């Protein structure tokens, strides 16, 4: 039966990029992150449960951190201009915080979103098999609090979407979108970099 | 180039179906509606501004409303089972109310949604040019309450979408989705039938 059309309005986009030359970048990032951890073993407690969450990278004085930020800028700039259609003024668009999380075996991240930003991101430096996928949650409460019995989840009735990224993948998504990261069931560390982008006028 | 994929998560679906025998159905329904109007000139006061909102149709006894329901019931079953993936149990999906709205010149409908049901609908019996189109609004407050300056509307940044249906078109959409109807600028009347579907188990 296909005598009808469907308009799928107001989707929540998750932009998935693959970085060229990511191996080289990931080696640099990993060294940088492990070095940060040496100096700050406690890190901070946010959505991380069991894992290590760095403090924000120093994007004002640290040239290496600034270089990383520059690499990601190309991608969020594209998203802002081409995909979201937002006005891009380089003086007003700011990376507001960039940090890393290392999830060792048994670690995970509880459901959270990123306040006071428009776009957020996850970049995968190390992502061993079974080290925890990212799950995104439907932001519409009115749909999720009451619904009919679901026999087959479809793109329309889905409440959660899980994405299993690979090393070198960059995900950019709206900051209001709640997400969580599954438990790391592998023996190896899972290492990611996150950042927020805000725009003021 | 860096490979790009966009996951378009959690859309709000609008189903646009054309009734096969709409001319006959529309004639019957229009007579039925005009009879109702004769008996109840005041009608109800809901989202209608200036227009006449009928009392609820008789969905128990045979007549034009039942013939109308029979003309799309297979489509409705397909939509529930295959598009939403919801369990379909005969007699558990009920049309809980059906009514008509006649918008004469300068009438319109303010923004509203339909409570205590899962699916709602608009079916077009008389739809002269410039008689007012239906606009749907993004239900995500977190997205629409605060947002950057939009330079070019895209399917990701847009907060409302207008659909221009024709006579014989049936729109079915989630009941939580807010919508409004533009002012009737034509000299002729615009006549629609709406209904709500609930599912109980």
Tell me how close the Cα of B167 comes to any Cα of chain A, in angstroms: 15
- Looking at the DSSP bridge assignments, the partners of residue B97 are B196
Instruction: Indicate the DSSP class of residue A144.
Output: H
Q: What is the mean pLDDT of residues A78-100?
A: 96
- Looking at the DSSP bridge assignments, the partners of residue B109 are B48, B181
Asked if A153 and B86 count as a contact pair (C-beta separation under 8 A), the reply is no
Q: What are phi and psi of B145, to 5 degrees?
A: -80, -40
Tell me the pLDDT band of B4, cut-offs 50, 70 and 90.
Answer: confident
Nearest CB partner across the interface for B13, out of A139, A142, A156: A156
Q: What is the pLDDT of residue B201?
A: 67
Q: In what order do the strands lie in the sheet with B179-181?
A: B48-49, B108-112, B179-181, B134-137, B160-163
Nearest CB partner across the interface for A151, out of B4, B6, B86: B86
CA atoms within 13 A on the CB side of B13: 21
Asked if B54 and B40 count as a contact pair (C-beta separation under 8 A), the reply is yes
In this structure, what token pair is assigned to residue A141?
């409460």
Distance of CA A126 to the CA centre of its chain: 14
Say if the Cβ atoms of A142 and B139 lie within 8 Å.
Answer: yes
Please check whether residue A148 touches B, CB under 8 A: yes
Please check whether residue B139 touches A, CB under 8 A: yes
Q: Residue B142: in which H helix or E strand, if any? A: helix B141-144
Interface test with A, best of B7, B172, B178 (most A CBs within 10 A): B7
Nearest CB partner across the interface for B16, out of A4, A118, A154: A4
Instruction: Express each pLDDT in B160-179 by its tens digit.
Output: 999 999 999 999 999 999 99
Tell me how close the Cα of A89 comes to any Cα of chain B, in angstroms: 10
Q: What is the pLDDT of residue A181?
A: 97
Instruction: Express each pLDDT in A119-177 by its tens digit.
Output: 999 999 999 999 999 999 999 999 999 999 999 999 999 999 999 999 999 999 999 99
- pTM of the shown model: 0.95
Asked if B174 and B81 count as a contact pair (C-beta separation under 8 A), the reply is no
Find where tokens 């533009």 sit: B182
Q: What is the pLDDT of residue A98?
A: 98
The ipTM of this complex is 0.94
What's the CA gap between B190 and B167, in Å, rounded? 10
Please check whether residue A144 touches B, CB under 8 A: no
Spatial neighbors of A109 by CB under 8 A, at least 6 apart, are A47, A48, A49, A51, A101, A103, A132, A180, A181
Interface of B with A in 39-98 (CB under 8 A): 74-75, 78, 80-87
Instruction: Tell me: pLDDT of A1 over 60.
Output: no
């Amino acid at each position: 039966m296909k005598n009808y059309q469907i308009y799928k309005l107001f989707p929540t986009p998750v932009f998935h990029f693959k970085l060229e030359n990511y191996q080289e970048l990931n080696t640099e990032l990993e060294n940088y992150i492990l070095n940060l951890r040496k100096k700050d073993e406690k890190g901070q407690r946010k959505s991380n449960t069991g894992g290590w969450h760095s403090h924000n990278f120093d994007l004002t004085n640290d040239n290496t951190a600034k270089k990383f930020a520059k690499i990601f800028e190309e991608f969020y700039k594209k998203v802002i201009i081409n995909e979201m259609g937002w006005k891009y003024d380089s003086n007003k668009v700011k990376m507001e915080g960039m940090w890393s999380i290392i999830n060792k075996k048994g670690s995970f991240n509880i459901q959270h979103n990123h306040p006071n930003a428009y776009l957020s991101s996850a970049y995968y430096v190390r992502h061993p098999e079974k080290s925890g996928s990212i799950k995104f949650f439907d932001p519409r409460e009115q749909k999720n609090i009451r619904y009919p019995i679901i026999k087959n989840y479809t793109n329309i009735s889905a409440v959660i979407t899980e994405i299993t990224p690979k090393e070198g993948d960059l995900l950019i998504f709206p900051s209001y979108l709640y997400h969580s990261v599954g438990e790391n069931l592998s023996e190896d560390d899972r290492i990611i970099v996150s950042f927020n982008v805000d725009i003021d006028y | 180039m860096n490979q790009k994929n966009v996951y378009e998560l959690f859309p709000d679906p609008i189903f646009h179906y054309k009734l096969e025998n709409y001319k006959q159905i529309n004639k019957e329904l229009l007579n039925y509606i005009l009879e109702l109007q004769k008996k109840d000139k005041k009608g109800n006061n809901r989202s209608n501004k200036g227009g006449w909102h009928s009392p609820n149709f008789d969905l128990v006894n045979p007549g034009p409303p039942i013939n109308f329901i029979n003309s799309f019931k297979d489509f409705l079953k397909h939509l529930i089972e295959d598009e939403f993936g919801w369990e379909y149990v005969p007699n558990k999906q009920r049309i809980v109310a059906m009514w008509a709205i006649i918008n004469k010149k300068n009438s319109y409908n303010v923004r509203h949604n339909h409570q205590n049901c899962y699916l709602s609908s608009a079916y077009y019996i008389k739809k002269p040019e410039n008689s007012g189109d239906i606009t749907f609004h993004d239900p995500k407050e977190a997205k629409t309450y605060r947002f950057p300056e939009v330079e070019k509307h895209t399917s990701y940044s847009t907060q409302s979408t207008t659909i221009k249906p024709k006579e014989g078109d049936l729109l079915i959409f989630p009941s939580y989705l807010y919508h409004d109807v533009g002012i009737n600028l034509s000299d002729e009347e615009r006549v629609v039938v709406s209904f709500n579907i609930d599912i109980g188990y």
